[in-house]
């Protein structure tokens, strides 16, 4: 039996510029942080001659080609380890909440299959193969941030060249600032988002045809990402909070489906009760509000009064890893 553990993530700067429709023109830089909320993938041999697959649904198939889950089907096409295989997925936080679960799942699944075959794989190769499955084989309108931060873990700067090559480097943040972020960054669940593909497809399509408004918005996001990097590496977490706020205002203008009346109201309540800045994590429409709080207790009390549950977290420094090998 093999079990892998792969972190989810929060985006700290430059999110949205990691789609090919943007970085192929301008390049990009995204700052992302892995958190200690995980997706687990288990792979085991069975005594049957089929595939038993358990995620939000259960499948039992005689052939890989009959598997309905697209990511699992493509991964098993690339790594024919069955049949007589059971594959199970569990998650600390469900899909559709803006924390990069699809990319984390793909990375964790591939990590499990390589371990099952007793083959070594680097974090970079793992991330790139996960990107290939989601972007090229399945044609999903996603970027490369989620797969890379899931594979590497930590707080990372991801530099994307116009040809799609990704360079990963650690965010050189002072230890005091790192501890400050872990204490003062708070996540509150607003409800399930609609499919991120809907939002990202609009962004991809408008960017691909040279929509000036969309490209100008993303240019500003890219510039803010560079400012976030400089600010955090200088240890200025209050400055980072102000940039989060500016990023969210620009993100709301990117698409009519990015926010809602309820999300806008919760954000205003947060700012009025101890938050210096924040944003909705992910493609929009739901998921998690991320705040930087000067007064954490006041913010927690206010969000509790609004009926929003908090998910507490710290940063994950390991990335996708095998935790059981039997």
Question: Residue 210's pLDDT is what?
Answer: 75
pTM: 0.94
**Is 3.30.200.20 the CATH number for 175-311?**
no
Question: Residue 209's pLDDT is what?
Answer: 73
Task: Compute mean pLDDT per 10 residues along the chain, 326 residues long, and list them.
Answer: 97 89 90 98 95 96 97 97 94 89 97 97 98 96 94 97 96 97 96 65 73 82 93 97 91 77 94 96 81 97 96 97 93
Question: Residue 72's pLDDT is what?
Answer: 98
The angle subtended at Cα 289 by Cα 285 and Cα 292, nearest 5°, is: 150
Read off the DSSP letter of residue 64: G
Question: Residue 193's pLDDT is what?
Answer: 63
Four-way CATH pick for 2-171+316-325: 3.30.1370.10, 3.40.50.1370, 3.40.50.1970, 3.30.230.10: 3.30.230.10
- Residue 38: which of 105, 129, 88 has the closest Cα? 105
d(CA 143, CA 141): 7
Laid out side by side, the sheet with 185-191 consists of 275-281, 287-293, 185-191, 309-311
d(CA 184, CA 2): 36
CB-CB neighbours of 161 under 10 Å: 12
- Residue 271: which of 241, 250, 251 has the closest Cα? 241
d(CA 126, CA 41): 15
Question: Residue 125's pLDDT is what?
Answer: 98
Contact 322, 43 (CB under 8 A): no
d(CA 155, CA 92): 20
Question: Residue 265's pLDDT is what?
Answer: 95
Residues of the chain with CATH 3.30.230.10: 2-171+316-325
Question: Residue 19's pLDDT is what?
Answer: 87
């Amino acid at each position: 039996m093999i079990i892998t553990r792969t972190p989810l993530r929060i985006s700290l700067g430059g999110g949205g510029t990691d789609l090919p429709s943007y970085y192929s023109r301008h390049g990009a830089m995204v700052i992302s942080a892995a958190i200690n909320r995980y997706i687990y993938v288990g792979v085991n041999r069975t005594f049957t001659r089929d595939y038993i697959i358990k995620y939000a649904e259960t499948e039992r198939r005689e052939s890989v080609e009959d598997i309905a889950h697209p990511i699992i089907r493509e991964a098993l096409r690339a790594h024919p380890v069955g049949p007589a295989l059971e594959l199970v997925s569990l998650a600390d936080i469900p899909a559709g909440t803006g924390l990069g679960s699809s990319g984390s799942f793909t990375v964790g699944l591939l990590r499990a299959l390589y371990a099952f075959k007793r083959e070594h794989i680097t974090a970079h190769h793992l991330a790139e193969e996960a990107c290939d499955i989601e972007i090229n084989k399945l044609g999903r309108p996603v970027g490369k941030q989620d797969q890379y931060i899931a594979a590497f873990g930590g707080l990372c700067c991801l530099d994307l060249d116009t040809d799609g090559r990704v360079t990963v480097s650690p965010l050189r943040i002072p230890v005091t600032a790192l501890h400050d972020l872990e204490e003062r960054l708070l996540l509150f669940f607003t409800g399930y988002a609609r499919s991120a593909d809907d939002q990202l497809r609009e962004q991809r399509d408008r960017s691909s045809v040279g929509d000036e408004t969309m490209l100008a918005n993303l240019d500003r996001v890219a510039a803010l990402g560079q400012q976030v990097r400089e600010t955090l590496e200088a240890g200025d977490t209050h400055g980072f909070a102000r940039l989060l706020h500016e990023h969210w205002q620009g993100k709301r203008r990117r698409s009519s489906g990015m926010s809602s009346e309820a999300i806008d109201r919760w954000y205003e309540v947060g700012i009025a009760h101890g938050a210096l800045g924040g944003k909705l994590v992910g493609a929009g429409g739901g998921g998690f509000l991320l705040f930087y709080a000067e007064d954490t207790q006041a913010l927690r009390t206010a969000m509790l009064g609004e009926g929003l549950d908090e998910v507490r977290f710290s940063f994950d420094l390991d990335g996708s890893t095998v935790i059981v090998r039997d």
